[in-house]
Amino acid sequence: MKALEEKIVRDGLALGTEIVKVDSFLNHQIDTEFLLQLGDEFARLFADAAPSKILTMESSGISVAVATALSFGKLPVVFAKKTAPSTMVEDTYSADVMSFTRGKVSTARVAKKFISPRDRVLIIDDFLAHGEAASGLAEIVRQSGAKLVGIGAVIEKAFQGGREKLAPYSCPVVALARIGQIENGEIHFLPAD
């Protein structure tokens, strides 16, 4: 998605060889006008997947998942919780997820009642890096018996192996911008999906 690559270059920040900060429009401040464009693009790319539900991980995935759900005609969104509030008393599907930017493992949980075996689930998240969040969500879908119809990330850091980690789930993986390398403050993109 050309507009996204341009926005990453213009408003993002490359740090070292591994980090691209997009907190000015995606995961701290949200440019809601641009957000709708991201949702439209996911809906276009996953049109054949015909999802019945969008699944994401709190927190940064929520806005993109909502935008995608709206573009698909107002589908329901479910976001996995990384900490369980005292009000979460029902049975859950769960998967352990390592966060490299936070340096800890947390358990992602989804109440069983919100994914049924009849669902066609599309996973949407802000980043695909090491693939921890996406594979945790895919594992939750597997537990539910629902069909995983795709995995979409706004930005893929292709050099961190996430896509390879998702291969066992045998579903289309799509990133709107694919970063192949970060060096000397410059971001090099790979051809888009």
Residues that bind a copy of itself (CB under 8 A): 15, 19, 21, 23-24, 28-33, 35-36, 58-59, 62-63, 66-67, 69-70, 74-79, 81, 83, 85-89, 99, 101-103, 110-111, 113-114
Output 8 or 173, the one with its CB closest to a copy of itself.
8
Nearer to a copy of itself, 21 or 147 (CB): 21
**Smallest Cα–Cα separation from 151: which of 170, 76, 79?**
170
Nearer to a copy of itself, 106 or 135 (CB): 106
Residue 32 CB coordination number (10 Å): 10
How far apart are CB 23 and a copy of itself at their closest, in Å? 7
* Cβ-based nearer residue to a copy of itself, 18 or 193: 18
As measured in angstroms, the least distance from the Cβ of 153 to a copy of itself is 16
Residue from 188, 189, 192, 187 nearest 173 by CA: 192
> Nearer Cβ to a copy of itself, position 102 or 170?
102
The β-bridge partners of 56 are 79
Q: Minimum distance from CB of 192 to a copy of itself (Å)?
A: 24
Instruction: Give the C-alpha distances (Å, rounded to integers) separating 114 from 55, 91, 146, 170.
Output: 10, 11, 11, 23
Q: How buried is residue 190: exposed, middle or buried, by Cβ count under 10 Å (0-12/13-18/19+)?
A: middle
Confirm if 21 and 27 have CB atoms less than 8 A apart: no
